[in-house]
Each structure stands twice: as C-alpha cells, then as structure tokens.
Structure 1
C-alpha cells in the first residue's frame, strides 16, 4: 500500500512537470511568432539605400555640434540625421561625422563642399561606403608571414653552456663584425 501511494505521488509529480513543459513550449512558440513578425516588418530601412543618401565628413572640429554641421550643410538639401562619432571609452569626439540626407541629389550637392572651411578646418566630404560584412576575412591576424626580424644575434650570456670568453660568436664583443673575418682571440 505504501508503494502504491509512492507511485501515485510520483505520477502526479510527473504530470505536473509535463504540464509545465507544455506551457513553456507554448510560450516559446508565441515568442518565436512575435520575433518572426518583428523581423519580417523590421524598421523598413534598407541599409544600402540609406548609405546612398549619406556622406562621410572628416576633419570635423572636435568642438562642433550637430546644429553647426546642419547649418553648414543646409544649402545641400534636407538633412535627416547627423551623427558625430565619439570614442566609446572617453566620450570625446573623433573628428568625423556622417550626414544622412533626404535624397541622393543632396549627396551630390554636399560633395561640392569638400575642402570647405568649417570652424577653421578644411572638411573632407566623401560618399559613405556600404560596409560589406566579411570583406576582410581572408586577411586574418596573427599569421606568421615573411622573415623574422634581426640578423641572428647570439647572446652568450643567455646560454648557460656558452663560454663568454671564447670569441667564436662574439656578437656581444664591441667592434666585432661577425665570424670568419680574421679575428682570433689568441
């Protein structure tokens, strides 16, 4: 009888867990549908299209504000957004900015301001390029290419078995220019 009571208690516990798992799976399905619907609609912005309507501005004065840049570029056309790049650690401006215009003709007009003076500095205005993910994949870092630096310097003081008074390697001796040039310590 005690065994039957234990089995029914265990069965009831298993059923509760199965109900909780079913509820969690339903919630996960709902969340998946919600995220899929958000991904489908997105924010309606095509990155390449925005980049065609944007320019990169270099040599911007560090004390410049978006309002001053807007005043300088207002003759080019309608400006949607101005982004001044800042260092993520210190928060100080980097001297570069991006300006997004309302249409592509405004970009062509703004390119004419390349070399114009803004707060005593000559601006560099170019078309914003579209970043291609994975473009630099082939140029990995840390690969050992090329020859090593140096010319085979031998340090006899670092070699515990070397006799520092023997002149065979002698790169450590002042005035010695390499082995085999007629120098003999004796």
Structure 2
C-alpha cells in the first residue's frame, strides 16, 4: 500500500466521503485529519491505495476541482522529513524560545509570543 496526501479538501469532507472519492482506485483506507479544538476537518487527509494504483490516483486526482477547490494529491512523506510546526521548544526568533521567559514562554511550552501567530497558518 502507498499512502497519499490529499490537501485543499472541502472542510465538509469526512473519512467516508474521502474513501468514496478514491473508490475507483481499488480498496482504499481514507483518513481525514480533524482539528481537536473545533472537531472540524483541517482540510487535508491521507488515502492508502495499492502501489499499482498510486500513480494513476495522483495523476487523475491532483488538481481536480472539488466544490470549488483544486485538490492537491501527492505521495505522503514521512513526518521526519518535515520540520515540526506548532508549539514546541527551541529558539524560533521573535519572542519565542529561550528569550520568551518574561513573556510567558515558559508557561506556553517554550513557544513564547510566536506560537499563537504561527498556528494560524
């Protein structure tokens, strides 16, 4: 099985809708990523398809218009290949990281003032 990233999905989509969208590519496993705070879709998810069908799915579904949104479909990359985002330690510039102690950085997981700003993207 090959895992595909599916981005720019309509926020109304759930696991079943995503699975139906890719049903033409065989037996698929679909997972829509849900925001823990709101319970709504984050607008992206993952679909597992057979290795034989992965290239077809990417070629045919990438850029497909879905409720006015152009889908982004490509092979998923392992988490270790991407920098982590969101709250976390380390120096990130601005008021974050090591310089954020007097601005609440220690109480907010080390993200300081930059954590809330970065999470909006």
CA apart distance, 1:136? 5.3
**What pairs up with 1:126-141 in 2 under 5 angstroms?**
126-132=74-80, 141=90
1:17-44 CA-to-partner distances (Å, cap 9, x unmatched) read xxxxxxxxxxxxxxxxxxxxxxxxxxxx
Instruction: Give the aligned CA root-mean-square deviation in angstroms.
Output: 2.6
Aligned to 1:106: 53
Pair 1:96 & 2:44 matched: yes
The size of the alignment, in residue pairs, is 89
- Distance in 2, matches of 1:91 and 1:143, equals 29
Bigger relative contact order, structure 1 or 2 (CA pairs below 8 A, ≥6 apart): 2
Pair 1:71 & 2:14 matched: no
- Distance in 2, matches of 1:92 and 1:68, equals 14
Q: Is the 8 A contact 2:11 2:42 kept in 1?
A: yes
Aligned to 1:87: 35
Q: Is the 8 A contact 2:18 2:31 kept in 1?
A: no
Aligned to 1:125: 73
* Structure 1 or 2: more strand by fraction: 2
CA apart distance, 1:143? 6.7
- Distance in 2, matches of 1:56 and 1:136, equals 17
SS at match of 1:132: helix
Residues 142, 78 of structure 1: CA spacing in aligned structure 2 closer, same or farther, 3 A cutoff? same
Q: Structure 1 segments of 4 or more deviating over 3 A?
A: none
- Distance in 2, matches of 1:56 and 1:105, equals 16
- Normalised to the residue count of structure 2, the TM-score between the two structures is 0.62
Where structure 2 has 5 or more consecutive residues not aligned to the other structure, the ranges are 94-121
**What pairs up with 1:1-186 in 2 under 5 angstroms?**
53-79=2-28, 81-101=29-49, 103-112=50-59, 113-132=61-80, 141-142=90-91
CA apart distance, 1:64? 1.3
Where structure 1 has 5 or more consecutive residues not aligned to the other structure, the ranges are 1-49, 145-186
